[in-house]
Each structure stands twice: as C-alpha cells, then as structure tokens.
C-alpha cells in the first residue's frame, strides 16, 4: 500500500513536471530520473508504471508495420520494471515488440493450439499462408530448461503476430557440450532455407563459421539475452550489425555495475562470489568484468578469474553441476555474504548446499538477473531479515524483440547492431512469490500468458 502511494505520488509529480516543461519540448523520465531534451526528435518517457513513446504524434516505425506507441505500459513495467529508456532506436524496437505481446490471444487472433504446436514441434505451418520461414536455434531447449522453454514460446507467439511468417522451424542443442551439435542445428536451418534465424548462441564464438555461412547465404541471425557471438574484444568474435543482424540484450557492463552496486551496498564489508554459465560465454563474461572492476574496497571477491577473458564460477546453467560450484566456494569461504549470478533458479539449487552443509542462510545479499519463483518463494519461506535479493528481469521477452528486429530488417529497416534493453534492479518482496503460478520455475516477468504457460507446463 505504501509502495502504491509512493508510485502514485511520483507519477503525479512526473505529470506536473512534464506539463510545466512542455513548452520547452523537454521530456522527463521519472522513476529513474533521466531527462532528455530534444528538438523534433522522437522522445520516450518512462515513468512510474507509465511508458509512452511520442514522436510528435507519429509512429516512428510505421513504415515497417510496427507501433511502439501501442506498447501497454503495464506490460512494459512487468517485463522491465521502472526503467530509463535505452537509446531511441533500441527502445523503439523494444516497445514495438512488447506492443505485439497482447495477453488476450483471442483478441490478437492467435490460436493457442497453433502456438503449442509451433512450440513443441520441430516445424509448423502457422496457417497464415505467409512466405517467410523463421528459424529458431536454441543452445538449450524446451525439455532441459524452463527459461529456454518460455523464451521459445515468447518467440513463437511473436512470430504468430506476423502474417508474413508462414513456417517456424525450431532446433535445440539441449546444452550439449559438443559444439558440433550447436553448429549442426544452424546448419540445418541454413539448408532448410529459412529467411532469418533467432536464437541464443550458448557456445559463443564456436558458432562463428556457421553464422558466417548463414550471413553469406543471406540469412540474418539475431540473438537475444545479450547473446553476443563473442564480446567485441574477444578473439574470433563476430561483429553484430556486420556479421550478424543484431544482438538484443542489456548493456552488460551496466548490468555488471548494477550487480556490484547491490553487493557493495548490501554486503558492506565481506566476501562475495560471482557465478556464471557455460565457461567463457559472452553474457557472463560481459557483466563479470564490470562487476569485478566496480566492487568497493572491503568487498572481497573469493573466486576471481585468472584473467579478464575468463569467466569465474562456471555452473553451465546446469542444475546438476551447480552444487559442485557452491561446495567449492563454501569449503573455503563459508562466510560468503553475497553472490552475483544471472540465474535465480540456479541459485536456488545452490542454496540447497547451504542446507546440506548446515550453513545458515543469513547475512546474504544476492544480485540476480532472472526471477524464477522457486528462489523467491524459498526466500519468502525462510523469512530471514538479513537475507535480501535484488533482480533485474527474466528477460524472456527479449526473444520477441529479436523476432521483431528481424522482421523489421526484412522490410528494409536499419536495425542497430546492438539493441539495448534497459534494466533496473528491483528488491524481492513477498509479492514476488506467486506460489500458485503455473510453474514455480517460470520467471515472473515473462510475457507469455498464463493460459499458455498452463498448457506448456501442465504435463
């Protein structure tokens, strides 16, 4: 209630400020207080629970059949929290993709059975009669990870809003440690002559050659969840915008600094650890570099990487491997006071090692990217005042942004090589545990409607 009052107050203040400054053509962003002043350029306002895009009343993406102004502010906040917009080109694409995430599937003309078919089958005819074939190449897969399953469904639902897309072809490498398996999935999509590929490159630069092959074949590749095919300064890295269409995701360095800010404040003085996914993956490497460099004095990292091109705390995002990493950390440092990690459910698995070893979950601060309910409900159940969690967003919807970016490019739009998704850290409260949600491992910020989730995870 107190929170609602605060939000309401901020919203009113923002409206007043906006009204006062209208003459000077200034747009103010509330909730995070970023002020942008421009002349006739389209500007974006993101204020407490209310997000609008204006361009002198024009839709800046109308030429590509997209409408960022139609994004439901409630959905924007659900997916991202109260964020400051990213750069204009990125933000418009982000909003345009959310604008298509209509929660009323019937109203959006999406057949739920068709969505399920396209999600569960390797290939489906969308029934639209469209000529385009969308390829979806996941390094994980529906059957191995809920986050991947939901991201896949987000992409499917987004694709079904485009009548031009007549076929969806999906491949999954199921986290196979063999890079060849990941490569063959994309090779198959090239041979299948898809028109564009959306995916997450788990093996990073391991996909370099096959993605160049796709590029040569005129098949644009767009990754999501900051799935860089190698970070810009990594050997063998591809250049988004040149070698592949685009990478959708947070500014990784800013995300890493947000994590360190949470740890610096929450821990004060003490030991912290960083965890990551597959060794050397760009997402982990990107934020870990900046977290490490911005940790405050007195906050000691117990598992520093040997060099800046190596990730630390590699968990492979694979639950059976996660306890090993926690045991290694807790053996030497049972007094760890904070963790930064992308994967909330993985941390939930790790906390079981605390229970196993009889180490109390106290004086602990977590800085996370995703928001699986398992961890949040476990946090609520523990009811430990010295244990606090901060998270940014699950980011499942980013696969929608990738689809939209690819579709815009197919219509001749100039898509930025990096589509930056803004983020903000939010503290977990009891409201973030939805015990009756369809599946406890689903992110609270996913834009897949509950009725679809129910079918996906009902078993």
Partner 1 sequence: MTARRIPSSALTSFVVGSRYMPVYLALLLLLVVASIWAPAALGSVALRSVAPYGALLGITALGQMLVIMTGGIDLSVPGTFSLAAVIMVGVGNQSDDRIGVAILTAIGVAALVGLVNGILIGGLKLNALIVTLAVGQVVIGVVNRYGRTFSVQSPVPTGWSEWTTTRIAGVSPVFWIGLVITILLIVAFRYTTVGRRFQVVGANPVASQVVGVRVNQNQISAYVVAAVLYAIAGMALAGLIRTPGISVGTRYLLGPIAAVVIGGASLTGGLASPLSTLAAALFLTGLNQMMLTMGLPTSLQLVVFGLVIIGGMLVSGDRIIKAVERVLRERRRPRRIESETTNSSIGTG
Which residues make up the interface to partner 1 (CB under 8 A)? 120, 142-146, 149, 174-175, 177, 279, 302-306, 310, 312, 314, 318-325, 327-332, 334, 345, 349, 352-353, 355-359, 374, 439, 441, 457-459
Q: Between residues 32 and 328, which has the closer beta carbon with respect to partner 1?
A: 328
User: Whole-number minimum distance, CB 457 to partner 1, in Å?
Assistant: 4
Whether the CB-CB separation of 382 and 212 falls below 8 Å is answered with no
Q: Between residues 85 and 338, which has the closer beta carbon with respect to partner 1?
A: 338
Q: Between residues 145 and 161, which has the closer beta carbon with respect to partner 1?
A: 145
Whether the CB-CB separation of 308 and 231 falls below 8 Å is answered with no
Q: Between residues 73 and 304, which has the closer beta carbon with respect to partner 1?
A: 304
User: Whole-number minimum distance, CB 349 to partner 1, in Å?
Assistant: 6
User: Whole-number minimum distance, CB 78 to partner 1, in Å?
Assistant: 22
Nearest residue to 380 (alpha-carbon basis) of 391, 388, 370, 368: 388
Q: How far apart are CA 241 and CA 245, in angstroms?
A: 5
Q: Between residues 136 and 175, which has the closer beta carbon with respect to partner 1?
A: 175
Whether the CB-CB separation of 394 and 443 falls below 8 Å is answered with yes
User: Whole-number minimum distance, CB 434 to partner 1, in Å?
Assistant: 15
Phi and psi based region of residue 165 (left: phi greater than 0; alpha: psi -120 to 50; beta: remaining): beta
User: Whole-number minimum distance, CB 318 to partner 1, in Å?
Assistant: 7
What is the C-alpha end-to-end distance of the chain, expressed in Å?
Answer: 37
User: Whole-number minimum distance, CB 116 to partner 1, in Å?
Assistant: 12
Q: Between residues 188 and 318, which has the closer beta carbon with respect to partner 1?
A: 318
Nearest residue to 390 (alpha-carbon basis) of 327, 347, 450, 329: 347
User: Whole-number minimum distance, CB 312 to partner 1, in Å?
Assistant: 8
Q: Between residues 149 and 366, which has the closer beta carbon with respect to partner 1?
A: 149
User: Whole-number minimum distance, CB 371 to partner 1, in Å?
Assistant: 15
User: Whole-number minimum distance, CB 132 to partner 1, in Å?
Assistant: 28
Q: Between residues 25 and 355, which has the closer beta carbon with respect to partner 1?
A: 355
Q: Between residues 28 and 142, which has the closer beta carbon with respect to partner 1?
A: 142
Q: What angle do CA 380, 382, 446 make, to 5 degrees?
A: 35
Runs of H (alpha helix) within 303-446: 322-332, 344-357, 373-382, 398-410
User: Whole-number minimum distance, CB 345 to partner 1, in Å?
Assistant: 7
Handedness of CA 154, 193, 187, 185 (dihedral sign): positive
Whether the CB-CB separation of 133 and 220 falls below 8 Å is answered with no
Runs of H (alpha helix) within 35-128: 73-80, 88-99, 112-120
Q: How far apart are CA 360 and CA 347, in angstroms?
A: 15
Q: Between residues 21 and 174, which has the closer beta carbon with respect to partner 1?
A: 174
Q: How far apart are CA 388 and CA 256, in angstroms?
A: 18
Strands 165-172 and 221-223: unpaired
Return the structure tokens found at 50: 């209310």
Nearest residue to 451 (alpha-carbon basis) of 104, 71, 101: 104
Strands 165-172 and 123-125: antiparallel
Number of H helices and number of E strands within the chain? 14, 17
Q: How far apart are CA 168 and CA 110, in angstroms?
A: 15
């Amino acid at each position: 209630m107190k929170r609602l009052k605060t939000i309401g107050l901020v919203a009113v203040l923002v409206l007043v400020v906006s009204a006062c400054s209208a003459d000077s053509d200034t747009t103010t962003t509330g909730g995070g207080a970023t002020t942008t002043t421009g002349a006739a350029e389209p500007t974006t306002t993101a204020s407490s629970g209310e997000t609008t895009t204006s361009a002198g009343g024009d839709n800046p993406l109308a030429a590509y059949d997209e409408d960022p102004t139609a994004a439901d502010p409630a959905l924007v906040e659900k997916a991202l929290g109260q964020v400051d917009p990213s750069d204009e080109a990125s933000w418009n694409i982000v909003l345009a993709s959310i604008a298509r995430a209509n929660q009323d599937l019937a109203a959006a003309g999406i057949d739920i059975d068709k969505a399920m078919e396209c999600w569960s089958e390797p290939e489906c005819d969308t029934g639209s009669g469209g000529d385009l074939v969308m390829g979806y190449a996941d390094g994980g897969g529906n059957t191995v990870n809920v986050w991947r399953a939901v991201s896949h469904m987000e992409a499917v639902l987004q694709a079904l809003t485009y009548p031009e897309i007549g076929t969806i072809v999906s491949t999954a490498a199921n986290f196979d440690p063999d890079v060849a398996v990941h490569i063959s999935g994309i090779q198959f999509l090239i041979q299948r002559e898809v028109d564009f590929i959306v995916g997450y490159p788990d093996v990073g630069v391991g996909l370099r050659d096959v993605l160049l092959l796709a590029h040569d074949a005129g098949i644009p590749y767009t990754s999501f969840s900051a799935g860089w095919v190698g970070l810009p300064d990594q050997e063998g890295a591809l250049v988004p915008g040149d070698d592949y269409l685009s990478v959708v995701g947070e500014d990784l360095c800013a995300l890493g600094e947000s994590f360190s800010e949470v740890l610096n404040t929450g821990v004060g003085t003490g030991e912290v650890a960083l965890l990551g996914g597959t060794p050397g993956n760009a997402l982990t490497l990107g934020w870990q570099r900046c977290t490490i460099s911005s940790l405050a004095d007195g906050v000691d990292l117990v598992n520093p990487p040997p060099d800046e091109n190596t990730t630390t705390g590699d968990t492979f995002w694979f639950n059976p491997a996660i306890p090993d990493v926690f045991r290694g950390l807790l053996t030497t440092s049972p007094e760890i006071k904070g963790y930064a990690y992308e994967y909330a459910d993985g941390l939930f698995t790790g906390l079981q090692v605390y229970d196993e070893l009889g180490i109390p979950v106290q004086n602990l601060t977590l800085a996370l990217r995703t928001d699986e309910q398992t961890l949040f409900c476990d946090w609520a159940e523990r009811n430990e005042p010295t244990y606090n969690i901060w998270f940014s967003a699950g980011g499942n919807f980013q696969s929608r942004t990738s689809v939209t970016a690819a579709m815009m490019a197919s219509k001749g739009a100039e898509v930025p090589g990096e589509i930056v998704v803004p983020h903000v850290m939010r503290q977990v409260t009891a409201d973030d545990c939805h015990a009756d949600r369809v599946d406890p491992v689903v992110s609270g910020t996913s834009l897949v409607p509950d009725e679809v989730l129910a079918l996906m995870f009902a078993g």
